[in-house]
Chains A and B, each alone.
Chain A
Amino acid sequence: MLADALIWHRLQFAFTITFHYLFPVLTMGLALFIVVMKALALRTGDARWDDAARFWIRIFGINFAVGVVTGIPMEFQFGTNWARLSRYAGPVIGQTLALEGIFAFFLESSFLALLVWGEKRLSRMAHFASAVALFVGSWLSAYFIISTSAFMHHPVGYAVGPDQNLQIVDLGAVLLNPWALLQFAHNQAASVATASFVVAAVGAWYLLRNEHTDFARRCLTLGVGFGFVASLVVAFPTGDLQAKAVARHKPAALAAMEGRFESGPRAGITLIGQPNVAARRLDNPITVPGMLSFLAFGTFQGNVAGLNEFPESDWPDNIELLYYAFHIMAGLGTLMIGLMGLAALALLTRRLFTSRALLWALALAFPFPYIAVTTGWMTAELGRQPWVVYGLLRTADASSQMVHGGTALFTLIGFMGIDFLIGLAFLWLVARELSAGPSAHPHGTTAPEAAHG
């Protein structure tokens, strides 16, 4: 397998998309927070909401810049590394990707510029409108890219043309793919949860240090409020519905996610355990009996297929990783609901701002949603294997056969080096912003260049 270029193509896409997505996952959720803060400023006339928004716009700007530059290579890698996929499915996924460029990227880039550079030039209402446009643009962008992904998970609206390549028959069906709607709801809720954890963590951090306390309370209130709702929505109904869809459409993936090798009713859900693929069993399992059947089919009697029902050539090709990714996501998702539930309770009973234990937990918990989101996407993409377009094109037949392993590994190593440096610079810049605090930039100076004197 290592002699094959395929592994390097796969690793490169996995690495670059994983690193890239750490940034948009925050900015999409944060855009919502900025809209809410600016709306509160307009409604209440309280300029401190504007100050809060300005701090988060700066954090947003740094994240967005890294998101843009790490995102540019993604679209190109369809052609460079997955040329046979592009040739085969381009008439369909080319449309959704082009839609993203035309309707989302232009909107985002233009209105981010207005938001960052334009506070002094625009009226308050127009500045608020820019925030809304940016929010809409970033969520539209997510929708188009998710509808591309959804087509690859659950192809609809296409036909196989005379040259054996796909052609688009119904763009509306591709865009309204039920898989896309489910994935989008789940993903956007997770993005709001991520931003909530980050906003709440910053609030908790400042409050623990007794700095910028007014700003910190505002962040905590919004972060915990949105965080509790979003964490719940991630699990129910969106996660639950998605699991049911996987059970119905990709039973082999569900079996691998749960490390289930044998079919049968009253299937238990595994809390912990290690899949032993060679021996076809789960080692040291701790399970909740009947739960998987209930979650997948709504009845404890539901028969959940095991991997034994599928030919090995159709098994996901990394069962262990798929299993762990799914369990880490689900475990952290549960933890997030618990923590935000406690924090929301404390907020309602007016004890959150003085509870040091909870503030510490919130300040430290911000990596959870990032890990959960990453493992969630790993679950989705590993679960689709061995297909790149489910049921139509295998991953092994999709890579660029003109690009050999030495070339692909060269660029993978290059990306690792570049992304490492970007990561360092990013962390350093964000740390600086955090230590400078929300009051470091008085009215109207969101842009690094816009300061007069």
Chain B
Amino acid sequence: MADLWYVIVAGALTAFVLLDGYDFGAGMLHRWVARTDDERRQVIAAIGPFWDGNEVWLLAAGGALFLAFPKVLSAGLSGFYFAIFLVLWCLIGRGLAIEFRSHVADRMWRSFFDTLFMATSLLLALFFGVALANIVRGVPLSADGWFSLELFTQFRATPPVGILDWYTITVGLFAVAALAVHGGAFLALRTDGVVRDRARLAARRALSGVIVAWPLVTWATAVVRPGFFDAFAWRPLAWLFVIIALAGTVAAYAGLRNERDGLAFAGSACFVGGLLGATAACAWPALLYAVPVEANSLTTANAAAPADGLRSAFFWYLPGLLLAMGYFALLARLHREKARAGDYGSHG
């Protein structure tokens, strides 16, 4: 049962990254792909109806983690204390920027929130990459299941580790590039005119960065966490995810080259999802890997809530998710047409 909940937590987190990821990506590119107020309103309109629901996936994943692995949630959130609040503050600023921006037709007001939207989107992508890298690298869990990490120590990925080191920052930057592809492809799909053209260009450039960096990040992971990839030897699922990610890269590349935006967006989604899936498959059964004492790791075996509660929760969590997907489908169907250029008069 605990392993099933591992899949649910990983799945919900992946859904969050895929969904909110495209609006992080759109945010990062915001001021660059959209230069005039009309163009910027086009970008905001493309994500406006969706971003809040996308963000709920973070809470859904957090809720699943809380009920299934309370030890991981409590150790992880208190151990990463500073980083969590930086993320939360960015989420606050970003949500307000999206919602408040267009309420006031004033150049300075809008410019301020455009920049806030872009900066927080970029930082969030970076932080989520850093967070993932911390999980992969490992945290200094003690035998009683707690740890505390400073924001930075000496930027080395060896004990005493900090939240930021060369490895975690590298992965963070990789996440920025990957979500820039994803967000660019999304904007290309959902807008038209110059915004679409610039979004395609941005996504193409970011994709070249991703293709160059991917092997390097993989190598860095093997250095920082020797044995992480051993799982490939006996977990075919990990292979499947890697193949999905590879196919996604090819599709994204082809889609962006041939101006087939749907293909490009599906490709970037497969790439991001495949990579996260492969990571989750390699990390299993550890939810929080411990360094230097591996035996202190919190795993599906020693950190799960009692099985009875997990079994009964399964029967409402899954239907609940299906219901949520229904709402998403409805919303997407209603907003299936693009946010078009020229729809937005210079003053609303």
Contacts and interface: CB of A to CB of B under 8 A. Distances in A.
A452 interface: yes
Question: In the complex, which range does the number of interface residues on chain B fall in?
Answer: 35 or more
Contact of A65 (B53, B84, B96, B316): B96
Nearest to B97: A69
B70 A87 contact: yes
B83 to A, nearest CB: 10
B104 A94 contact: no
Nearest to B347: A451
Nearest to B67: A94
B317 interface: yes
Interface residues of A, number: 74
Interface in B268-311: 305-306, 308-309
A97 interface: yes
A84 to B, nearest CB: 7
A411 interface: yes
A79 B99 CA distance: 28
Contacts of B88: 72-73, 76
A230 interface: no
Nearest to A402: B148
B309 A403 contact: no
A106 B312 contact: no
Majority secondary structure of chain A interface residues (helix, strand, loop or mixed) = helix
B63 to A, nearest CB: 3
B73 A94 contact: yes
A86 B324 CA distance: 26
B155 interface: no
B99 A98 contact: no
Contact of A91 (B75, B92, B309): B309
A95 interface: yes
B143 interface: no
A400 B81 contact: yes
B59 interface: yes
A278 B309 CA distance: 46
A453 B146 CA distance: 57
A299 interface: no
A351 B306 CA distance: 63
B152 to A, nearest CB: 14
B99 to A, nearest CB: 4
A107 B63 CA distance: 16
A110 B317 contact: no
A69 B58 CA distance: 13
A98 B77 contact: no
Nearest to B79: A402
A80 interface: yes
Contact of B85 (A94, A110, A414, A451): A414
Interface stretch (B40-48, B169-177, B198-206, B250-258): B40-48
Interface stretch (B156-164, B239-247, B325-333): B325-333
A64 B309 CA distance: 33
Nearest to A71: B59
B102 interface: yes
B138 interface: no
A403 B81 contact: yes
B232 interface: no
Contact of A95 (B67, B71, B82, B348): B67
Interface string A412-439: 0010001000100100010010000000
Nearest to B71: A87
Nearest to B62: A75
Contacts of B44: 449
Interface string A96-128: 011111110111011111101110011000000
A91 B95 contact: no
Closest 3 CB pairs of A and B: A90-B70, A79-B77, A98-B63
Interface of B: 41, 44-45, 48-50, 52-53, 55-56, 58-60, 62-64, 66-68, 70-71, 73-79, 81-82, 84-85, 88-89, 91-93, 95-96, 99-104, 145-148, 305-306, 308-309, 312-313, 316-317, 320-321, 323-324, 327-328, 330-331, 334-335, 343-345, 348
